[in-house]
Amino acid sequence: MKKKIEVPKKIRLRFPPSPTGLLHIGNARTILFNYLFAKKMGGETVLRIEDTDTERSKLEYVQNIIDELHWLGLDWNEGPDIGGKFGPYKQSQRTDIYKRYLEQLLAEKKAYYCNCNAEELEAKRQDQQSRGLAPKYDGTCRDKNNTSGVIRLRVPSKKVVFVDLIRGEIESDAGLMGDIVIARHIDSALYHFAVVVDDYEMQISHIIRGEDHIANTPKHILLQEALGFPKLEYAHLPLMLNADKSKMSKRAGDVAVSDYHQAGYLPEALINFMVLLGWNPGTEQEIFSLKELEKEFSLEKVQKSGAVFNVQKLDFMNGLYIRQKSVPALTKLCASFLPEHNLPAKTVEKIVASCQGRMKKLSDITELADFFLKEKLDYDTALLAWDKMNREQVKDALLLCDKILRGLEKWEVAAIQEVLEKAAGENKGQIFWPFRIALSGKKASAPAPEIAEILGKEKTLQRIQDAIDKK
C-alpha cells in the first residue's frame, strides 16, 4: 500500500534536468509535478542543472531549459542571482564540494580506487553472463590500497527497502549490484554521487521523478547511508508513452517543449494537458488553471500505469484555451505567425476573430487567414459550385452578389447578410456558397459577410469579379 504523505518541517524539491538536449516534454511533466507538490505543501524549489556529462552538456541547452520553464510559468524560488532572477545551480561548478565528500568516503574506507581496465571488466562481465550470473564488479581492487583510478563505493550485501509515495514498498538486493563507480577520479564525480551530495547540501526533502529512476534509488540510499545523510522521501511517476504504448523517445517525433512552443501551443494548455498524464483529480473536471492545480494536486492521485500522450487531446485542449482568449490578447499571440502586412491593427483583430473558432494552434492562423493578405486568389473553380450547380448558375449567383453589393452603402456584416438573404430566398446555399468561395478560395472559412466586411467593399467586389472571370 502507498505510504501516507507526512509533511516534514521543511519541504524542498528540485528541478534537475540535464543539458544534453532541449527540455524534454517528459522532464517538463516531472518538473510540473515537483512544482505543484511544493506549492500545495507550501514548500520551496530549486533548479539544478545536472551537467556532469561534460561531453554532451551544452550551454544552449541550459538556456533552453530556463527559457521554456519561464514560458510554462514553472518558476523556482531559489538559486544564484542572474540579472535580478534566480538562476540555476550547476553541478559543473560544485566540483570542490563533491571532492570533499569523496575524500571522506576514501578516508573512512567506504570507497576505494579501482584501476581495473575496461578489457578486464568486459571479460569478467561476459564470463558471469555465460554462467547465468548477474554481471557485477567482483571486488578485485577492494583491498589493494590503490591511489588512483575510478572510485568505487563498497556496497554491502543487504536488502535495500524504501516506501515509494506512489507505489508503496519497494525492495532491492544490493548484493546483486556490486561496488558501483561513483567518480572517474577525485575531481570528477559521476551522476549518482553528485545528486546525492546535492540533495543533502540543498536540503531537499522529496524526490519526485520518473519510474525509470526506480533502479537508481537503492544506489542513492546506499550512498546516503555511507555519507551519514538523512533519508529522503521518494515518488516515482508513471512513464509518458507514445500512442503505440512505447516510451516517448528523443528520437521519435516532437518531444521538446520548444517544439510545442514554436508550433503555437499555449503554456496554460500544455500545463493542463501534462498534469493529466498520470494524475487523476477524481472528478469529471479536466480543465484546470495553474493556480487551481496548485490547490488541487496531490501525489495520492498519481497513477502507477503509463500515461499515453494523445496529441489530439492536446489540440482540443489548446483550441479551448485559444477560444477563451480576448481578441486583442490572441492577436498579439498570433503576430509572429502572420506574414508581413500593412493592415490596420483593428483589421488584424477582426481577421484573428474570424479564425479564432477554428484554431487549434496559434500557427493555424497562417493558413486560416492567408486569403485576407493576398491580392489574388488561386483556387479550383469547381469549389464555387454549391451542391449540383452548373457553371451558368454559379456565374448568375456571383453576378447577383455583385449587383446587390455595389448598391449597398452600409458595409457591415449584418447589412451584407440581410440583403443577400433577401435576394436568395429559399436558395441561400446557392448564393452564400459561391460568394464565400470567391472571397476566400477555401472550402472552409469564416462566413462570407464576415469576410466581406474585413476585406472592404472594393476588394470584395474585385474578388467577385475575379471569380466571374474564372468561370
3-state DSSP assignment of residue 112: strand
Of 91, 81, 71, nearest to 14 by C-alpha is 91
**Residues 219, 280 share a domain:** no
Q: Is the pLDDT confidence value at 160 over 70?
A: yes
Q: How high is the pLDDT of residue 243?
A: 83
Structure confidence by residue, pLDDT tens digits, 57-70:
999 999 999 999 99
**Residues 280, 230 share a domain:** no
424 pLDDT band (50/70/90 cuts)? confident
8 pLDDT band (50/70/90 cuts)? low
**Residues 214, 101 share a domain:** yes
- Identify the domain boundary among 219, 237, 255: 237
| Residue 6 covered by a domain | no
What is the CATH classification number for the domain harbouring 423?
1.10.10.350
The CA–CA distances, whole Å, from 133 to 43, 99, 122, 177 equal 45, 34, 14, 12
Give me the catalytic one of 144, 250, 295, 301. Answer: 250
- Identify the domain boundary among 187, 203, 237: 237
* Known active-site residue 250: yes
9 pLDDT band (50/70/90 cuts)? low
| Residue 4 covered by a domain | no
| Residue 369 covered by a domain | yes
The single-letter code of the amino acid at 114 is C
- Identify the domain boundary among 185, 210, 237: 237
Sorted by sequence, the CB contacts under 8 Å of residue 251 that are 6+ apart come out as none
Q: How high is the pLDDT of residue 195?
A: 97
| Residue 63 covered by a domain | yes
User: Cell numbers 552538456 correspond to what residue?
Assistant: 57
254 pLDDT band (50/70/90 cuts)? low
132 pLDDT band (50/70/90 cuts)? confident
User: Cell numbers 519541504 correspond to what residue?
Assistant: 11
Q: Is the pLDDT confidence value at 231 over 90?
A: yes
Grid cell for residue 121: 571488466
Q: How high is the pLDDT of residue 2?
A: 54
Structure confidence by residue, pLDDT tens digits, 100-122:
999 999 999 999 999 999 988 98
**Residues 110, 221 share a domain:** yes
Based on its alpha-carbon atoms, the radius of gyration of the chain, rounded to whole angstroms, reads 31
Rounded to an integer, the average pLDDT of 335-353 is: 93
Q: How high is the pLDDT of residue 76?
A: 95
Q: How high is the pLDDT of residue 471?
A: 65
Structure confidence by residue, pLDDT tens digits, 260-305:
999 999 999 999 999 999 999 999 999 999 999 999 999 999 999 9
What is the CATH classification number for the domain harbouring 124?
3.40.50.620
| Residue 136 covered by a domain | yes
Q: Average pLDDT of the chain?
A: 93
Residue that wins the pLDDT comparison between 44 and 255: 44
**Residues 190, 80 share a domain:** no
**What proportion of the chain, given as a percentage, has pLDDT over 70?**
97
Q: Is the pLDDT confidence value at 166 over 60?
A: yes
Q: Contact, 15 vs 46, CB < 8 A?
A: yes
Query: What total number of domains does the chain contain?
Result: 4
The whole-angstrom separation of Cα 126 and Cα 120 is 10
Q: How high is the pLDDT of residue 3?
A: 52
**Residues 86, 101 share a domain:** no
**Residues 231, 108 share a domain:** yes
**Residues 272, 230 share a domain:** no
Strands 81-82 and 85-86: antiparallel
Range of the domain at 112: 94-237
The whole-angstrom separation of Cα 248 and Cα 309 is 8
| Residue 3 covered by a domain | no
The whole-angstrom separation of Cα 32 and Cα 36 is 6
Would you list the DSSP string of 223-236? HHHHHTPPP-EEEE
Residue that wins the pLDDT comparison between 209 and 388: 209
Rounded to an integer, the average pLDDT of 9-31 is: 94
Q: Is the pLDDT confidence value at 4 over 80?
A: no
**Residues 196, 137 share a domain:** yes
**Residues 233, 101 share a domain:** yes
Sorted by sequence, the CB contacts under 8 Å of residue 315 that are 6+ apart come out as 360, 361
- Comparing 126-135, 218-227, 345-354, the range with the smallest average pLDDT is 126-135
Residue that wins the pLDDT comparison between 89 and 9: 89
Structure confidence by residue, pLDDT tens digits, 345-366:
999 999 999 999 999 999 999 9
**Residues 244, 233 share a domain:** no
Rounded to an integer, the average pLDDT of 312-317 is: 97
**Residues 217, 251 share a domain:** no
